[in-house]
C-alpha cells in the first residue's frame, strides 16, 4: 500500500465518511432461509425502528421479495411511512400511546395490536361498518410487558365479540411474545397461549392468524411457529443466540459499516491517546483517526476493547471513543489518509462482526445496529458489488 502518510486527501467523488451499506439480496435470502425452515407458517418481516437501523422501506421491499407476507412495526406512524412509500402488503403495529386514536390506521389500512380494554374501545370508536378496524388481540402469556392480562381475557374477548358483531372491528389475529428465557419457560407460554386461543373461540371469536414466535423461538422451538413467525433480528442476518453465529444458522449479515482514515500519525511509545490517556502504546506505532463517535451510535464501551478492519487485518480501537471520532492503533501497518475502515460486517469476509462489537460493548447485536445515528449514510446495494478497497 506504500509508506504510511499523514498527508493526502480523499477526492470529492470518494464515498461518504460515515456509511452503512445494506444488502437487499441478503435480506431477501434471510427471509427465504427462515421461510423454508418454518413452513407452512408464514413470515412477518419486522421493520420497526427504521428496520433495526437498516432502513425500513428498502428492507420491507426486499423482505417481501424474499417471501414475507406481513410487515411488523411498533408504532402506527411507522406503518404509515411504509404506506407513504407505496407498500401495500399487510402491516401490523402493536405499540400505542396511553390513549390512542386509530383513525389514521383505518384510513391507511394498518392493522393494530390490541393489549387493553381501552385500546379495544378506541378501535371500536375508530371503526365503521364500511371500514372496520383490523385488529390482532395480544395476550400476555408471561412476558410481563404489553398484552391483555389473564384476568382481562374474558371481558376483552366478550367486548371484541360484540364489536365484531357490530362490524366495528375485524379480528385478524391473536398473538403474544415469548420471553426466550428457556425452552421450558417458552413452552409454558405456548400452553398459556393455547388457553387464550380456546377461550377466544369459546366466545365465538375466530382467532385468525396466530403468532407467538420471533426469530429465536421460530428457530429453536418448532411448536411455537403456529400460523406466522415474526422475523426480527434474523431478517438482518444476525443471530439471536449467544454463542451461535449467523453462518451456523444459514443467515447473511445485511449491513456493513465503514469509514475512512482521516488522519495517520507516527507516535513514540508512551504517547497518551484520547481523553483521559486511557491508552499509551508500548512501542512506537502508527495511529489512525476514524470520524465516527458516540454521536453516530458507536458505543463508548468499545474504547480499548473493540477492533476494526483496515487494509486486510483487524486493529484495536484505542483510547476513549469521543463524540465524533475514535483512534485505531495500526502498529506497523502501512496506512494512508483515505484508506478504508470497516467497523463491522460479515465475518465470512474477514470483517469484525456486529456480535464481536456487542461483546466488546457488553450489549447485544440488536443494539449495535439499531443505535447507528443519522449522520451514518445508509446505502442500499448488494455487498458483493461493494468490493472497492477490500484487498487494499
Is residue 1 a known part of a binding site?
Answer: no
Q: Which of 288, 289, 271 lies closest to 280 in space, CA to CA?
A: 271
DSSP-derived secondary structure for 193-210: HHHHHHHHHHTT----EE
| Grid cell digits, residue 259 | 469509514
User: Are the CB atoms for 343 and 210 separated by under 8 Å?
Assistant: no
Going 179 to 96 to 49 to 81, the CA torsion angle's sign is: positive
Catalytic position from the list 236, 275, 279, 377: 275
Report strand pairing: 91-93 vs 111-114.
parallel
- What lies within 8 Å, CB to CB, of 378 at 6+ separation is 19, 20, 22, 54, 55
275 is catalytic: yes
d(CA 290, CA 17): 9
User: From the candidates 48, 52, 138, 294, which is the catalytic residue?
Assistant: 48
Known binding residue 323? Answer is: yes
At 332, is the secondary structure helix, strand, or coil? coil
219: phi then psi, degrees, rounded to nearest 5: -85, -30
CA 334-381-31 angle, to 5 degrees, is: 120
Dihedral class, residue 289 (left if φ above 0, else alpha if ψ from -120 to 50, else beta): beta
Contacts of 266 (CB under 8 A, 6+ apart): 4, 6, 284, 285, 286
- Whether residue 236 lies in the annotated active site: no
Q: 62 near 28, Cβ under 8 Å?
A: yes
User: SS3 of 310, please?
Assistant: strand
β-pair type (133-138, 111-114): parallel
- Edge to edge, the sheet with strand 255-260 lists 263-267, 285-290, 326-331, 313-318, 307-310, 340-344, 255-260, 19-22, 377-380
Cβ-Cβ contacts under 8 Å for 295 (sequence gap 6 or more): 323, 324, 373, 375
Q: Which residues are annotated as a binding site for substrate?
A: 145, 323
Give catalytic residues, as residue numbers. 48, 275
Q: Which residues are annotated as a binding site?
A: 145, 323
Amino acid at each position: 500500500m506504500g509508506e504510511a502518510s499523514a498527508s493526502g486527501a480523499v477526492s470529492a467523488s470518494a464515498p461518504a465518511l460515515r456509511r452503512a451499506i445494506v444488502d437487499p439480496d441478503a435480506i431477501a435470502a434471510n427471509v427465504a432461509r427462515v421461510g423454508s425452515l418454518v413452513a407452512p407458517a408464514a413470515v412477518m418481516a419486522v421493520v420497526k425502528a427504521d428496520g433495526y437501523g437498516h432502513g425500513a422501506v428498502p428492507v420491507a421491499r426486499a423482505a417481501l421479495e424474499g417471501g414475507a407476507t406481513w410487515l411488523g412495526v411498533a408504532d402506527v406512524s411507522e406503518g404509515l411511512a411504509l404506506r407513504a412509500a407505496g407498500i401495500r402488503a399487510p402491516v401490523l403495529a402493536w405499540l400505542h400511546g396511553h390513549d390512542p386514536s386509530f383513525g389514521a390506521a383505518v384510513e391507511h389500512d394498518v392493522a393494530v395490536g390490541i393489549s387493553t380494554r381501552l385500546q379495544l374501545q378506541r378501535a371500536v370508536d375508530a371503526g365503521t361498518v364500511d371500514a372496520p378496524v383490523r385488529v390482532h388481540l395480544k395476550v400476555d402469556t408471561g412476558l410481563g410487558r404489553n398484552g391483555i392480562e389473564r384476568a382481562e381475557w374474558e371481558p376483552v374477548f366478550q367486548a371484541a365479540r360484540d364489536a365484531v358483531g357490530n362490524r366495528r372491528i375485524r379480528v385478524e389475529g391473536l398473538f403474544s411474545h415469548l420471553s426466550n428465557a428457556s425452552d421450558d419457560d417458552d413452552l409454558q407460554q405456548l400452553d398459556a397461549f393455547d388457553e387464550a386461543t380456546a377461550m377466544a373461540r369459546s366466545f365465538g371469536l375466530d382467532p385468525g392468524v396466530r403468532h407467538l414466535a420471533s426469530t429465536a423461538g421460530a428457530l429453536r422451538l418448532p411448536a411455537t411457529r403456529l400460523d406466522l413467525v415474526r422475523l426480527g433480528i434474523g431478517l438482518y442476518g444476525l443471530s439471536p443466540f449467544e454463542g451461535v453465529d449467523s453462518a451456523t444458522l444459514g443467515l447473511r449479515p445485511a449491513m456493513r459499516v465503514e469509514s475512512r482514515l482521516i488522519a495517520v500519525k507516527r507516535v513514540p511509545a508512551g504517547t497518551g491517546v484520547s481523553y483521559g490517556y486511557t491508552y499509551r502504546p508500548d512501542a512506537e506505532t502508527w495511529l489512525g483517526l476514524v470520524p465516527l463517535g458516540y454521536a453516530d451510535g458507536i458505543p463508548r464501551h468499545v474504547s480499548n476493547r473493540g477492533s476494526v478492519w483496515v487494509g486486510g487485518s483487524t486493529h484495536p480501537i484505542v483510547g476513549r471513543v469521543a463524540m465524533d471520532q475514535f483512534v485505531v492503533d495500526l502498529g506497523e501497518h502501512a496506512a494512508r489518509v483515505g484508506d478504508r475502515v470497516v467497523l463491522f460486517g460479515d465475518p465470512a469476509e474477514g470483517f469484525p462482526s456486529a456480535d464481536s462489537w456487542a461483546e466488546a460493548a457488553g450489549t447485544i447485536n440488536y443494539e449495535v445496529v439499531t443505535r447507528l445515528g443519522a449522520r451514518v449514510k445508509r446505502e442500499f446495494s448488494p455487498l458483493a458489488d461493494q468490493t472497492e478497497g477490500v484487498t487494499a
